[in-house]
Amino acid sequence: MADAGKAKDGSLVKEITNMDEDFAQWYTDVVKKADLADYSEIGGCIIFRPYGYAIWELIQKQMDQVFKDTGHENVYMPLMISESLLQKEKDHVAGFAPEVAWVTMGGHEKLPEKLCIRPTSETLFCSHYAKIIQSYRDLPKLYNQWCSVVRWEKTTRPFLRTREFLWQEGHTAHATAQEAQEETIRMLNVYADFCENVLAIPVIKGQKTESEKFAGAERTYTIESLMHDGQALQSGTSHNFGDGFAKAFGIQYTDASNKLQYVHQTSWGFTTRMIGGLIMVHGDNSGLVLPPMVAPVQVIIVPIASHKEGVLEKAREIKSSLSKTIRVKVDESDKKPGWKFSEHEMKGVPIRLEIGPKDIEKNQCVIVRRDTGEKVTLSLDSLETDLEKALKDIQSNLLEKARTHRDSRTCSATSLEEMGSILNAKPGFIKAMWCGSPECEDKVKEVTGASSRCIPFEQENISDVCVCCGKKAESMVFWGRAY
């Protein structure tokens, strides 16, 4: 990537570990150097710093609009769930019990019943739906909430797995199984489009296997993406609950022919984990690389020789002429330009705009793209149009690059040995046939370290037999080592 990130002596900026030497350390370095997050007093809980939170706000804003466009309404449920309510659906509680945090005291008094901090809010939505749904005229109910949840994970990593994380959880109730299924797929598609169009992260859409599905769900659908190091990241899930929760919680309505029916439900969630995904899909050895659509600052203006007359004024003037359509900032700090270049590269700002006395004379400026390092001189007259075009280019280039990378790391295999050697040589997605038995799924994981990521909607016939047992194959599965 050209000379971007090089210091005077030609070495790379030293604060960030080389991603090819130590990917995990590189990730941590980027989180810290880009000012995304800090560790907090509570183990496994991170502080979202302004820059990191701004990315989440941009995700939230754009995704929330899609939810509203598809007829969903936002609500807010309580933070705490009583033990008895949590236990109403047995698969659900069994799935979450090992990682819930409990509140047992109110002031100095012991509570009569302990309360858990929501790990997810199915139970709250269900008990509410049981009250407010009586007639088919009350359906569908399309609710969503933006909140944080707590899951007491044993090992944590900033954004990827924290004990408290921010998300949205959609919970819907429908009259028929078919409507619930349509909603489940609709929202999976919303997530997939969002990942590709906004986050520039290509995804594989598919269904989770029995053993990977959500606790209490009938079917779980997922979008899976591939990180730069070849590990998979579950990037969003959409569940069809059928009428299982409705039966456990007594959510019934009277249909048009005056018969009592159970509702069919869905839930779907998308979390701050994807900030980690952004880092690991687009980042490079100079730090973060943000797709323009989620970049808190899309263009950073670095004034050169800012003490000279007219430079700062010109920088501010450019800023205000652009700020209607572009998120733009002037770096007025008294650091040297070179320092600022590195700083904004680490933070992944898509475009740097340099303006100095020589440029002002010629009515021009220099812009540098974060994704390619490409440096061009632009006239100030058509700046807004040129920048908007460049931002669009960056957005699509990042998606294209990520797609190329993923495809280059997607292989087919017909034996466990082949899977294992591919995963060790060049980790990524492996397409292989599966007979459908959980035993084979477990064995693949045990032998190769790869779990089933999904049964993709787009099926291919790699072979007729299961990669593990050699019996007749049921479907083609994407496998991979996952975060």
Partner RNA sequence: CGGGGCGUAGCCCAGCUUGGUAGGGCGCUUGGUUCGGGACCAAGAGGUCGCAAGUUCAAAUCUUGUCGCCCCGACCA
What are the residues binding RNA (CB under 7 A)?
3-8, 13-15, 24-25, 27-28, 33, 39, 42-44, 98-99, 151, 153-157, 160-163, 165, 214, 234, 237, 269, 271-273, 286, 304-307, 334-339, 341-343, 345-346, 352, 354-359, 365-366, 368, 373, 445, 449, 482-483
**Phi, psi dihedrals of residue 360, rounded to the nearest 5°:** -60, -40
DSSP state of 263: -
Q: Which is nearer to RNA, 373 or 436 (CB)?
A: 373
CB of 305 to RNA, least distance (A): 4
Q: Which is nearer to RNA, 89 or 345 (CB)?
A: 345
**Cα–Cα distance, 122 to 128 (Å, whole number):** 10
CB of 304 to RNA, least distance (A): 4
Q: For residue 410, what are the contacts with CB-CB under 8 A and spacing of at least 6?
A: 226, 428, 429, 430, 431
Q: Which is nearer to RNA, 8 or 259 (CB)?
A: 8
CB of 193 to RNA, least distance (A): 18
Q: Which is nearer to RNA, 44 or 206 (CB)?
A: 44
Among the listed residues 388, 382, 272, the one whose alpha carbon sits nearest the alpha carbon of residue 31? 272
Q: Which is nearer to RNA, 99 or 381 (CB)?
A: 99
CB of 289 to RNA, least distance (A): 13
CB of 106 to RNA, least distance (A): 24
Within 10 angstroms of residue 92's Cβ, the number of other Cβ atoms is: 24
Q: Which is nearer to RNA, 337 or 420 (CB)?
A: 337
Q: Which is nearer to RNA, 25 or 84 (CB)?
A: 25
Q: Which is nearer to RNA, 3 or 69 (CB)?
A: 3
Spatial contact of 31 and 49, defined as CB atoms under 8 Å apart: no
Among the listed residues 157, 221, 215, the one whose alpha carbon sits nearest the alpha carbon of residue 190? 221
Spatial contact of 221 and 214, defined as CB atoms under 8 Å apart: no
Q: Which of helix, strand or coil describes residue 407? A: helix
CB of 257 to RNA, least distance (A): 38
Q: Which of helix, strand or coil describes residue 464? A: coil
Q: Which is nearer to RNA, 102 or 339 (CB)?
A: 339
CB of 86 to RNA, least distance (A): 16
CB of 236 to RNA, least distance (A): 8
For residue 181, the surrounding DSSP H or E stretch is helix 177-197
Residues in the chain: 483
**Phi, psi dihedrals of residue 35, rounded to the nearest 5°:** 60, 35
Sign of CA dihedral 414, 420, 423, 424: negative
CB of 401 to RNA, least distance (A): 19
CB of 352 to RNA, least distance (A): 7
Q: What ranges make up the beta strands (E) of 387-461?
A: 410-412, 429-434, 451-456
Q: Which of helix, strand or coil describes residue 244? A: helix
Query: CA 315 → CA 54, 303, 306, 319, distances in Å?
Result: 23, 6, 9, 6
Q: Which is nearer to RNA, 130 or 281 (CB)?
A: 281
Query: CA 50 → CA 47, 54, 233, 387, distances in Å?
Result: 9, 6, 25, 25
